[in-house]
Chain A
């Protein structure tokens, strides 16, 4: 089994920082992933997406404190540490989103009264919260796979920005995010491309917000993440 999965996916010719203008629709920036790089955790992965890079470690299924144990499934914990400073409310909210996504796919009923802990460390941050969330989701999924935790599907995180004339840009740079009127982050599974989690910020209509189910480019680009 390969311990290192180094994936370079460039859908269209891209420069890393996205200084060249990209067409609307399906194009992701350069992303890469490496697994099994830490010796202590049961599974680890590092995910680099554009300018954002997150290191994830998974411990489990391991012992759990009696106060936290659930009698019929595994207790999933997510800890997100920012690059500088102490974790605050934003980290707690992202931890909850990532935990809910992981709980939806991990087969916790196979390991009752155990704990599965996902620790995420932000290594480099482009300054955008939405990008970070997508990168954390991808790193968490790769680390869970490396640890051999049984899952019913894989999931990936992808960010998109809606600018003022309604065009959808996938994987926006920080500059595109600031100028956009809405930034949306989605987590999709690989079985039926269904939506697992969405985190949105900004102003958009219902029709635009149902992009994950109707927009073909979104699932296709995010599916390339599973190469």
Chain B
């Protein structure tokens, strides 16, 4: 809250654009413009104060920066479009890295390459219509399953759960998904088995649970043996040995968003005892 107050105080002072580096980790609001850091010329190997000649001495070279969710390019600046904390990831190779805004959302917008859980709503000819929680149902061809041919059709009915990834997902076209990877293997994708429970959580919780160092999933795994599928569209499918255990797991995962790690450990230890 104190940070939000200081943001507002700066805005009151006069809305100057701020440097992106100086705002990392702080709350930003829509309408703010962020200045990109500029690349500095590396000192040449000449040592004694020699600098390499640049062909266009006037223009300063800019770092190539990737604009992530919540940011838009506006001239040579970044315009913030969502409320949240500004984050930055250093680049592996050359370039300036990625800037994005960590914001909370419930509604999913299809993004290419995301793995999602969809529900088959219609079968029309060669295409299944799959509801992924976005503004339009995605289309899934029957040939996009491992080992599927025209004679060997996959066994998919209306109401089945599908785990797949988007190959086409932009604002102008209907999203298309497939259940094979680029090599033609299923790799975990396809129809999700019988039983189990599908429930919806916020997108931020899914990203938190899928982070590489997330303890929640490790602790849940020690509690009961389970099968779990995470969809980036906010859907989680859980299956444990009994219905009661499945429901307990679903409730824990939904509540995880608002619990501190101490509260979580308390609940897990209480469940482990019973």
Contacts and interface: CB of A to CB of B under 8 A. Distances in A.
Residues of B in contact with A, size category: 20 to 34
Interface in B65-103: 70, 72, 79, 81-85, 102-103
Contacts of A63: 135-136
A36 B204 CA distance: 14
Contacts, number: 94
B62 interface: no
Contact of B12 (A2, A146, A223): A223
Contact of A191 (B31, B84, B106, B134): B31
A87 B30 CA distance: 32
Interface residues of A, number: 39
Given A112-B171, A223-B11, A62 B107 contact: yes
Contacts of A62: 107, 135
B272 interface: no
Interface of B is mostly: loop
Tell me what chain A mostly uses at the interface: helix, strand, loop, or mixed. loop
A61 B102 contact: no
B72 to A, nearest CB: 8
A111 to B, nearest CB: 6
A63 to B, nearest CB: 6
A110 B171 contact: yes
Contacts of A43: 106
A124 interface: no
A43 B107 CA distance: 9
B261 interface: no
Contact of B84 (A1, A189, A223): A1
A190 B31 contact: yes
B103 A1 contact: yes
A42 interface: yes
A42 B104 CA distance: 10
B81 A151 contact: yes
A123 interface: no
A150 B109 CA distance: 12
B105 A147 contact: yes
Contacts of A5: 4
Nearest to B104: A1
Interface string A61-76: 1111000000000000
Interface in B1-38: 1, 4-5, 8, 11-12, 15, 29-31
B171 A147 contact: no
Interface string A170-202: 000000000000000000011110000000000
4 closest residue pairs by CB, A with B: A148-B105, A153-B31, A150-B81, A114-B135
9 contacts: A3-B258, A63-B135, A107-B81, A112-B172, A145-B30, A150-B72, A150-B81, A190-B11, A227-B8
Interface of A: 1-3, 5, 36, 42-43, 59-64, 105, 107, 110-115, 145-148, 150-154, 189-192, 220, 223-224, 226-227
Given A1-B83, A63-B135, A190-B31, 8 more contacts: A5-B4, A42-B107, A60-B135, A147-B106, A150-B81, A154-B29, A190-B15, A227-B8
Interface of B: 1, 4-5, 8, 11-12, 15, 29-31, 70, 72, 79, 81-85, 102-107, 109, 134-136, 171-172, 204, 258
